[in-house]
Chains A and B, each alone.
Chain A
Amino acid sequence: MVDMVLEFLKTPFGILVLTVIKALALLVPLLIGVAYLTYAERKVLGAMQLRKGPNVVGPFGLFQPFADAIKMIFKETVIPSGASPALFLMAPMLTFGLAMIAWAVIPVNDGWAIADINVGVLYLFAISSLGVYGVIIAGWASNSKYAFLGALRSAAQMVSYEVSMGFIMVTVLVCAGSLNLTAIVNAQKTVWFAIPLFPMFIMFFISTLAETNRSPFDIPEGESEIVAGFFVEYSSMSFALFFLGEYANMILMSSMTTILFLGGWLAPFQGTIAGELFMLIPGPIWFILKVCMILFCFLWVRATFPRYRYDQLMRLGWKVFLPFSLFYLVLVAGVLVFMGWLPHAA
């Protein structure tokens, strides 16, 4: 029986079935994670503002995300009369879909990626640079001034911060000597890249805030200026898909930060007695803990800082991050070459 199953999994159709099972094993926990991220956000913001947050539905309000989901499902999807219906409905699906497919290359543990491809970092970068389309298409297809303004702001913002994010990634790649995400994590066994590349780590975190349109860079939504920005015309499930996509993107970006800078699934303090003890805890737990820590920082930032003004946002991206990341890339490459520490790629 077992032999038959193993034999079946080697046929082309079996490989397809296996991939679908793997994808479900990753996406179902991810979606539950997204649901509880919205809950965590409201609880954390509540605690930081001396409120209770959601506490009515279920014990400690734990069923709140599901109550919200059910409410969303039963609402009516309104398509504005001047809208372009096909594109209007495509935009949220695109946002949500992109937030999901990027997970194909994320390794949660050694060899646990669905697709362990050679150009993993480039794939992630490509997918995250596509996120802007969901926003632009939504803004344009809604045929509404506020939505369009939000889309334009968002497009300019996401394109700007991608440039410095690219240079930060290149710095990490130079240190790791590979574009493969598993290899990048394994290159951090001696020291996590967050330590030698600390300024880049901070800049990467800030860039991910801008890339996911999170506070303090949430001017595409800017409810005090342009109502809700690009998704002002969306309701019901089409809105929910944007919402889910945004939160899934937050988790994705946190995972990227974890893999690039915080050693992915590796336990901390390897080589010491504490490290030996920490090794007993399985890798995926470490991965999830690190991601949760960065997600907490996302929420913490939201509760702390006021929204950036548009020109200041652009200034930070182009005049501060871009020159500095370029400088640091040259510095790191120079040090690696001079000291002979350059990793040799296979």
Chain B
Amino acid sequence: MIAALAFYAFAAVLLASAAMVVSSRNPVHSVLFLILAFFNASALFVLAGAEFLAMTLVIVYVGAVAVLFLFVVMMLDINFVQLREGFQRYLPVGLAVVVVLLAELAMVLGGWKMAPEAMNLRFAPIAANTSNTVQLGKLIYTDYILIFQASGMILLVAMIGAIVLTLRDRGLTRKQNINAQTRRTPADTLVLVDARSGAGIGELGIYRPKAPESVAAAHDEHHDAHHGDHSSAGGHH
């Protein structure tokens, strides 16, 4: 009784928030409703006894994917009102697609026949005395290992592809060489001199280190100030 009530409550909120995802005017609000939808879906998983899937849904979708969605939506300056302008024009086409999809769904569900054993299996997918996680592990890493590995490979390819597409060094950034940085000693960079009063550092034979050429051309002013600090550090003594 309580389980049924909880199911309907979560399912109602899930559907309502899914509707808000597509109807909300503000894209950030859309993503936040999407997160609410994920949460309710995970609650439904818990009610179905699939606690591992429920937690994974929250970790993967809410904890990582939706964060990136939110990130992108907040950063991009998309005019969503402009995007919606064609709504009236495309409405007939959209409705036609909806009718076709609904008809297909009705045909599939209408002709669906299930063996009684299969139905029982659906209600008790796991043996009662083992935890969900163990059962999933035993299934995924034995019967479905190839499919599991293949999906992993596909994700890896997608990841490498994304990195290759976006990572390019345009020479605008200066990277720190951690190895060189930690091996630096005061002897490499500091010069101790007795400065005569009134004498400039040039007169004492101390010159600024050369800046990297490409960067130096672009940020001449900045570098002068920056390196000036370093080379004159000895001069203060």
B133 engages A126 (CB within 8 Å): no
B128 interfacial by beta-carbon distance below 8 Å: no
Decide if A345 touches B178 in the complex (CB within 8 Å).
no
A136 to B63, CA, bound (A): 12
Selecting from B54-62, B191-199, B226-234, the interface stretch reads B54-62
Cβ of B67 within 8 Å of any chain A Cβ, yes or no, is: yes
Chain B binding surface SS class: helix
Interface hits, A297-331 → B, CB 8 Å: 311-312, 315
Does B178 contact A315, Cβ atoms closer than 8 Å? yes
Among A17-25, A68-76, A117-125, A263-271, the stretch that binds chain B is A117-125
Residue of A nearest to B132 (CB): A118
Question: In the complex, which residue of chain A has the Cβ closest to the Cβ of B26?
Answer: A84
Query: When each residue 222-241 of chain A gets 1 if its CB lies under 8 Å from chain B and 0 otherwise, what string results?
Result: 00000000000000000000
For chain A residues 113-167, which have a beta carbon within 8 Å of chain B?
Answer: 117-119, 122-123, 125-126, 129-130, 132-133, 136-137, 140, 148, 152, 155, 159, 162
Residue among A125, A130, A148, A155 with max Cβ neighbours from chain B (10 Å) = A130
- Within A38-90, the residues touching B (CB, 8 Å) are 87
Chain A interface mostly: helix
Is A256 close to B, CB under 8 A? no
The residue from A118, A133, A345 contacting B35, defined by CB atoms under 8 A apart = A133
Those of A233-272 within 8 Å (CB) of chain B: none
A175 CB–B CB distance under 8 Å:
no
| B68 proximity list for chain A (CB < 8 A) | 159
B74 at interface, CB cutoff 8 A: yes
A174-193 contact mask (Cβ, 8 Å, vs B): 1 or 0: 00000100000000000000
Give the tally of cross-chain contacts (CB within 8 A): 70
Determine whether A12 belongs to the interface, using a CB cutoff of 8 Å to chain B. Answer: yes
Expressed in whole angstroms, the minimum distance between the Cβ of A305 and any Cβ of chain B is 16
Q: Does B71 contact A (CB under 8 A)?
A: yes
Which residues of chain A are within 8 angstroms of B28 by Cβ–Cβ distance? 140
Q: Are A126 and B176 in contact (CB under 8 A)?
A: no
Q: Is the CB of B133 within 8 A of A311?
A: no
| Chain B residues within 8 Å of A345, by CB | 131, 133-134
Chain B residue numbers with a CB within 8 Å of A125 are: 55, 59
A346/B130 contact (C-beta < 8 A), A140-B74, A162-B63, A312-B176 known: yes
CB of B59 within 8 A of CB of A126, answer yes
Structural contact, B63 and A126, CB atoms closer than 8 A: yes
Chain B residues whose CB sits within 8 angstroms of the CB of A346 once the complex forms: 130-131, 134
Q: Are B176 and A122 in contact (CB under 8 A)?
A: no
Considering only CB atoms and an 8 Å cut-off, how many residues of chain B contact the other chain?
27
Minimum Cβ distance to chain B for residue A273 (Å) = 38
Bound form: Cα–Cα A125–B55 in Å: 9
- Residues on the B chain within 8 Å of A123, using CB: 55
Are A119 and B67 CB-contacts (below 8 A) given A125-B59, A129-B59? no
The smallest beta-carbon distance between A92 and chain B, in angstroms, is 16
Closest to A180 in B: B131
* In the bound complex, CA of A346 to CA of B132 (Å): 11
Q: Which of B40-64 contact A (CB under 8 A)?
A: 51-52, 55-56, 58-59, 62-64
Q: Beta-carbon contacts of B178-212 to A below 8 Å, as 1s and 0s?
A: 10000000000000000000000000000000000
A162 to B59, CA, bound (A): 10
**B63 and A179 contacting across the interface, CB-CB below 8 Å:** no
Determine the distance from Cα of A130 to Cα of B64 in the docked complex, in whole angstroms. Answer: 9
Q: How far is the CB of A163 from chain B (nearest CB, A)?
A: 9
Segment 332-346 of A: residues with Cβ below 8 Å from B = 345-346
> Whole-angstrom distance between the alpha carbons of A312 and B43 in the complex?
39
Q: A119-B51, A312-B176 are in contact. Are A130 and B2 (CB under 8 A)?
A: no
Residue of B nearest to A344 (CB): B134
Residues of A within 8 A of B71 (CB): 136, 152, 155
A binding-site residues for B, Cβ under 8 Å = 12, 87, 117-119, 122-123, 125-126, 129-130, 132-133, 136-137, 140, 148, 152, 155, 159, 162, 179, 311-312, 315, 345-346
Question: Given A87-B32, A126-B62, list of 13 further CB < 8 A pairs?
Answer: A119-B133, A125-B55, A126-B55, A130-B63, A133-B67, A136-B67, A152-B71, A152-B75, A162-B63, A179-B131, A311-B175, A315-B178, A345-B134
Q: What are 23 contact pairs spanning A and B, CB under 8 A?
A: A118-B51, A118-B132, A119-B51, A119-B55, A119-B132, A122-B55, A122-B59, A125-B55, A126-B59, A130-B62, A133-B35, A133-B67, A136-B71, A140-B28, A140-B70, A140-B74, A152-B75, A159-B64, A162-B63, A311-B176, A312-B176, A345-B131, A346-B131
A-B CB proximity, top 10 nearest: A129-B63, A122-B55, A126-B58, A118-B131, A126-B59, A119-B51, A119-B55, A345-B134, A126-B55, A140-B74
